[in-house]
Amino acid sequence: MPPTVEAPLFFLDYDGTLAPIVEDPDQAMPHPAIPPILEVLDNAYPVWIVTGRDIAQLSSFIDRPLRAIGLHGAQSGVIGREVEYLVSDEAADAIASLRASLPSLDGIRVEDKSQAFAVHYRHASDEEEARERLRAWTDTIPEMLEAIWGKKVVELRPKGWTKGTAVLRISEEYPDRTSVYIGDDVTDEDAFDALHELDREAVTVKVGDEPTGAAYRLAGPDEVVAYLRTYVDVGEEN
C-alpha cells in the first residue's frame, strides 16, 4: 500500500483508476465508493482529475465541480463548467485533417475528444492488420502532433501537452503539499517522471501490473478505493 501523507495534492486519473475499464467508454461509471470519497477529499484537500478524456465527458460520471486536466494536458478547467483549450489553432486544424484521413477498417471505433481523438481497434475484424495499418497511418502525421499507443487504442494529440507538464504547473502552485498521483495509463508515465524530477517528495502510484516508473502499485479500482479511504477519516476530521 502506498504511504499516506499529511498534506496531499491529489492527481487522479479516471478510466482504470476511479472507474473500471469497460468495452464502451461511454459506460465507464465510477466505482460505487468513489463519489462519496471524492466529496470528502475535495472538502479537505486540493483534488485534480487528470484524464485523456475531454473534460466535458466527465460530467456524465462525476457530479461535482472538481478541477480537471483533460486531453492528456491540452485542457484545463472544472467539471461541468468552463474549460480552457491550451493548444494552438494550427494544431487543432491538423487534428481535424488527420481525423478525415483515418483509414477505413472494419470494427474500429473513433472516440472524438474535441481537439484530439482516439482510435480503438479492440473489435477490429483483423486486429493485427488494423494495428499495422494504423501504425503506417500515424507515420505520416505532422511534427506538431504525436501518436500515443495504449491498450488496443491509439490517440492523436498535439505534441508538447502532456500530463507531466500539467502536473508540474499545478504542483508549483502548492509548494507545501505532497503530490499524490494515481493512474493506470501509459500517458500517466509522463506525470510519474515529471514528479520524480521535483526537489520534493511525491507519491506516484501505478494501477495495474504493466511496466512503470511509479514508486508504488495498486491492482485496480478496488485497491484505489482502499488507499483513498486512508485519507477519508482524516479529511472528515479537518
Selection from 64, 63, 67 nearest residue 78 by Cα: 67
- Could you tell me the CA-to-CA distances from 220 to 21, 117, 177, 209, 216 in Å, in that order? 10, 25, 25, 9, 13
The answer to whether 13 is a known catalytic residue is yes
Cα angle 119, 120, 122; round to 5 = 155
CA angle 49, 36, 192 (to 5 degrees): 30
Starting at the edge strand that comes first in sequence, how are the strands of the sheet with 216-218 ordered?
83-85, 75-78, 67-70, 47-50, 8-12, 178-183, 202-207, 216-218
Number of Cβ within 10 Å of residue 139's Cβ equals 8
195 touches 166 (CB < 8 A): no
Catalytic residue among 13, 54, 184, 185: 13
In the chain, the largest separation of any two C-alpha atoms, in whole Å, equals 56
As annotated, the active-site residues are 13
